[in-house]
Amino acid sequence: MAAPQPTNENSPGPGDNAFTAGPPESEAGGILTIDLSAIVANWRSLGRRTTPCECAAVIKANAYGCGIEQVAAALAKAGCKTFFVASLAEARRVRSVVQGHAVYVLNGLAPGTAPLFAEINARPVIGSLVELAEWDAFCTAQQWRGGAALHVDTGMNRLGITANEAAALAPRIRSENHGITLLMSHLACAELPEHPLNDRQIRLFREVRILYRGIPSSLANSSGVFLDAAAHCDMVRPGVALYGVNPTPGRPNPMRPVVELRARIVQIRNVPRGETIGYDGTWTAKRATRLAVIGIGYADGYLRAASASDQAPGGNAVIAGKRCPFAGRVSMDLMAIDVTDLPDAAARRGDFATLIGDDLSVDDVALAAGTIGYEVLTGLGHRYHRVYRTDE
């Protein structure tokens, strides 16, 4: 049986600056607050850095866990004209709230799906000669003029035609109905500014762009925005930076935080010194310990890799304004937090622990779990009560 999906959000009324989705707050283990105004502010900030290039928005993976419909609508209202998603199903969700904007599907053209792209006026990102042949055949037979992107592999070695194949195809742009609305590639190491692959990819893509003069081009992702202007081309397409993750690791985060996650404390309990906590007994109380047990776990997308043990500290939560360490394994629906150092009445049943927010950023959570902010955000589950905030 498929997992239950969140209920439809309650549309804001006149003067409201928030609306909700998912189960009611009283029935949820946690509250996930998403600041749509911060997403818009981050998009505008990235756009200012790259003027006069167009700033598109990558909203794949449910807008990095933040809600694809809500984010698409907010960015479209703010002036974003071009969106990138991973799949045709995601493109369909964007089209349910946004009309008249370009929607590119990064994973390309699956066999037999060309009519479905036309149905919702989405554009495939063509990444192979086989895909191109199938798309061309459909466009010729149906006289479809919706356009497509051509993806050239410049060093990622994942999707895309080779530079030599792109050169061989270049004469087609002299045709009136060539159908290529965007030439693009993807940076592999943009978050490492000194990596030599960045320069190699920029140079190779520049050579291909010359052959496709007059066709808009795009190379830079979130971190690519902060590389030399040579990476910006005609369009940048930030993703994770829109949602508050630091696109410049090792330097101060230039983006506004977007997500706050709070989880309800379901029980306070005392554990004697020497007792173990949670599955497999990996964490041992080194003193008489007071625990706050909260009502979310890895089924809600909080990473099990952030578990604490006698060998590794694991993650933290903020309770009563203070960071408190995890105790034991993150389990499916529950996790324990050591609140021994808080005053006795500072943590009570029904209170909330902050897991993202206050002084715990998405990047902090990722570091504790040995991963990246992308995984933290895209794993955000559907069991939370979601609150969407907007200034408009």
Strands 352-356 and 385-389: unpaired
Q: Which of 81, 279, 302, 384 is the catalytic position? A: 279
Our answer to whether residue 243 is catalytic in this structure is no
Phi, psi dihedral angles at 385 (to 5 degrees): -75, 120
Instruction: Tell me how far CA of residue 211 lies from CA of 151, 155, 172, 233, 261, in angstroms.
Output: 14, 19, 10, 14, 48
Phi, psi dihedral angles at 215 (to 5 degrees): -95, 125
Other beta carbons within 10 angstroms of residue 183's beta carbon come to 25
Strands 259-271 and 180-184: unpaired
Say if CB 265 and CB 352 are below 8 A apart.
yes
Distance between CA 216 and CA 186 in Å, rounded?
A: 15
**Bridge partners, residue 76, by sequence:** none
Instruction: Tell me how far CA of residue 21 lies from CA of 109, 310, 329, 360, in angstroms.
Output: 32, 38, 29, 24
Residue 47 burial (CB < 10 Å; 0-12/13-18/19+)? buried
Instruction: Tell me how far CA of residue 100 lies from CA of 82, 106, 118, 122, 146, in angstroms.
Output: 10, 19, 13, 10, 12
Residue 322 burial (CB < 10 Å; 0-12/13-18/19+)? middle
Residue type at position 190 = A
Say if CB 279 and CB 331 are below 8 A apart.
yes
Our answer to whether residue 302 is catalytic in this structure is no
- Annotated catalytic residues are 60, 279
